[in-house]
Chains A and B, each alone.
Chain A
Amino acid sequence: MIIFENIHLRLGGQPVLRGFDWQPEAAQLSLLVGANGAGKSSALKVAAGLWRPDSGRIRILDTEGAKEGAKEHEQTAGVAYLPQAPAFHPRLRVRELLRFYARLEGQRLVEADLALERFGLESHLRHRSAALSGGLRQRLGLAVLSLTSNPVWMLDEPGLSLDPFWRRRLQEWLREVCAEGRTVLVATHLLAEWNNRADACYLCERGRIVSQLDVTQMQDELFVLEDGAATAQEEASG
């Protein structure tokens, strides 16, 4: 389980996260939605240890440890992160890249080959990453993610460059991952596609979580919220 506690972050002098508090349920698939610049990706990068927050902290609790009294980890330990539109060393081949991450995660090399198959990359294993399309690179990123044994997974816009078939496969796979006890957080704009496929959905606005949405009608609900925000803005300016 992961807990975001009152995270504040400024980038280039501008506040990006302003008291970001979030405690998604463990072993569930939670969506983080919001407009561009709302702070979704920044929150994930802070949790992944890529950016150091100005204040606040991230706590990652073992599911088992929590029963014994909440064992706290180092910030990045326990979190696996897949950035938006992942890219790779252009001269390295698909198999070399996957084997690198398998070794890094302490997995056997056969796991890398299985990940290749799981994401339909067998016919591309000798291709350099520079030769892959955006969708193939995304699938390679997912294959890399699948090699981790970390309890918390965070994906930033994972379906953006995938075709409908692989988007559906992605959602099914993430459901399986949750069923194995992992906590999965997905930052996304593709709300309608996740209807009834996520366990929870949280709306991020101006650097903090402002509400929880109904996962069965997220697109509609978000429109209502956006309309309300626009009306409030008009009233404030007018």
Chain B
Amino acid sequence: MNRVWAALSLRELSTIVASRVIWVFGVACLCFGALIALGSSGEGTTAVWLSLPLVLYALPLIGLLAGVAAVQGDAPEELLIASRISGMGRRLVVKWALWSLLLGGVALLWILPAVIRSEQWSMLPRLWGYAQAEAAVFVAWGLLIGRLIRDSVAANLIALLLGFFTLVGAGILAWLAARLPIVQAHPSLWTLSLMAHPVEALRVGLLFSIDGLPFDPGRLPGLAAWWLQRPGIWYGLLSVFWSGLALLLSSRLRATPD
């Protein structure tokens, strides 16, 4: 049994090293990291602000595309592999774990210069942890898209659309919903929608807790206060939930192509 895990892990590492997605992301992180390191200093420049473009824009899209690539690369070989390894569970877990870890590792090329530049070393583990948890969510959903949609172009397009919707669309919907009387009557519902969103929850968590934007928990609704006092734990649980859901759905799909 262990040899299957070992074989799958080593194969996946080779796949990741050969992947264009990971190289493009790596070069982009290196470039932005260099810009941050060489950039002139200014007031209000914190590690969180310097890392926001990475965690808000780059990681979700790259995570989705990486997940799609991880599944679709195996598609031509599906019959051979599936006749030797029954079920998709182990394969999906290995893909998810290794792609997430590697994306999180590459993201350090961006986060590290941000931390060095702002001289906020204490933020490194928290920022990295958030990035890692976020990568896990979006790789898992990319895997699901790759399994659902066999055509590679369509799958990548859907992944991009979902990425853009996650970045922009859900925020716009929440903003519009906030104007509805029924939502205004139940502010906890609106807060809950923010809390459940893998990018918005990260944004709020980063800005209010790590970056220390001032807030008084006593003046917030109970749910929001609870969340902002434990954003890291919440985001960890959220990551496990969304990742687990996507992996569960992926493994339930039919295992082999026609």
Residues of A within 8 A of B (CB): 11, 45, 48-51, 76, 79-83, 86-93, 96, 99-101, 103-106, 128, 141, 144
A87 touching B76 by the CB < 8 A rule?
yes
**In whole angstroms, what is the CA distance A171 to B198 when docked?**
57
Q: Is the interface of B mostly helix, strand, loop or mixed?
A: helix
| Mask: chain B, 91-119; 1 = CB below 8 Å from A; 0 = not | 00000000000000000000000000000
Q: Which of B132-158 contact A (CB under 8 A)?
A: none
- Asked whether any CB of chain A lies closer than 8 Å to the CB of B85, the reply is yes
How far does the Cβ of B211 sit from chain A's closest Cβ, in whole Å? 39
Given known A103-B10, A104-B4, contact A50–B84 (CB-CB < 8 A)? no
17 residue pairs bridging A and B, Cβ less than 8 Å apart: A48-B83, A49-B82, A49-B86, A50-B79, A76-B83, A80-B84, A81-B80, A81-B83, A83-B83, A88-B80, A89-B76, A91-B19, A91-B73, A93-B14, A100-B10, A101-B7, A104-B85
Contact of A89 among B15, B84, B258 (CB under 8 A): B15
**In whole angstroms, what is the CA distance A93 to B84 when docked?**
20
Residues of A within 8 A of B18 (CB): 91-92, 128
Residues of A within 8 A of B11 (CB): 92, 96, 100
**In whole angstroms, what is the CA distance A89 to B15 when docked?**
8
Q: Which of B186-245 contact A (CB under 8 A)?
A: none
- Asked whether any CB of chain A lies closer than 8 Å to the CB of B46, the reply is no
Interface centre among B15, B19, B77 (most CB of A within 10 A): B77
B3 touching A104 by the CB < 8 A rule?
yes
Residues of A within 8 A of B86 (CB): 49, 76
How far does the Cβ of B181 sit from chain A's closest Cβ, in whole Å? 50
Q: Which of B8-22 contact A (CB under 8 A)?
A: 10-11, 14-15, 18-19
Residues of A within 8 A of B10 (CB): 99-100, 103
How far does the Cβ of A110 sit from chain B's closest Cβ, in whole Å? 16
How far does the Cβ of A50 sit from chain B's closest Cβ, in whole Å? 5
Residues of B within 8 A of A92 (CB): 11, 14-15, 18
B3 touching A90 by the CB < 8 A rule?
no
Return the chain A residue nearest B4 by Cβ.
A104
**In whole angstroms, what is the CA distance A103 to B10 when docked?**
9
